[in-house]
Amino acid sequence: MKQSRNLPLGAAVFIGIWFCAVPAFAQGPNELPVSAGFIEYIKAAANPDKHGQGKDGRFYPYPTPQGHLIGYRQTVPDKALYMRGWSAAEADAALIQQLQSVESELRQRLQRDGKNLDQIQPACREILLDYGFTEGVAKLKPEWIQAVTQLDWGRILNPDFYARYDADWPDSVRNKAFFKRWSSKGEK
């Protein structure tokens, strides 16, 4: 009789739970090592009212005090988008690509500080990606990075510390979304 190489059900369930609870950070070309809801959170915080989305479902550039943006508050990379716009899939792909670029910058920034992006907790990674995306990695203050990598929830959830601004005005949409997403973590 040929011996089966299948894992016992209990072992398979344990391994499945382990890989779901602790991300392996293996990524394909359009993936990021983030939790399932992170991308939706970023999209909702960036453009909850879907500014620039036409009746055809495509995203077109829309005016802001910072210039015309498209999709999820992204700069317009090509003037042709004023005519053809982005499909929802193209907007999502552009967002993932931008977040991957932010991740690469974060990796370099943390290495200069003696930290490894792959060794910090998933919540830290997501908060740093979030802020790197909105503020720019170069503008992240060392004390912010330190508070996040140490998961100092008292500092992270202090409105004076986490508040973001858009053209010298508090970015209420992003600030509220951030607090809603992470406030339950700080209660532990």
Number of domains in the chain: 1
d(CA 32, CA 44): 18
pLDDT digits over 70-79, tens only? 999 999 999 9
d(CA 152, CA 173): 23
pLDDT digits over 9-25, tens only? 333 333 332 332 333 33
Please check whether residue 48 is in contact with residue 180, taking contact to mean a CB–CB distance below 8 angstroms: no
Whether 112 maps to a domain, the answer reads yes
Q: Token pair of 58, please?
A: 């495509």
Whether the model clears a pTM of 0.85, i.e. scores above it, the answer is no
d(CA 68, CA 76): 7
Whether 23 maps to a domain, the answer reads no
Whether 27 maps to a domain, the answer reads no
Structural domain that includes position 175: 33-183
Whether 17 maps to a domain, the answer reads no
Whether 4 maps to a domain, the answer reads no
- CATH number of domain containing 100: 1.10.530.40
Whether 80 maps to a domain, the answer reads yes
Whether 19 maps to a domain, the answer reads no
pLDDT exceeds 70 at position 187: no
Half-sphere exposure of 168 (CA within 13 A, CB side): 1
Give which of 98, 160, 82, 182 is closest to 133, Cα–Cα: 98
pLDDT digits over 136-159, tens only? 999 999 999 999 999 999 999 988
Task: Compute the mean pLDDT over every residue in the chain, rounded to the nearest whole number.
Answer: 82
Whether 10 maps to a domain, the answer reads no
pLDDT digits over 104-135, tens only? 999 999 999 899 999 999 999 999 999 999 99
Please check whether residue 76 is in contact with residue 61, taking contact to mean a CB–CB distance below 8 angstroms: yes
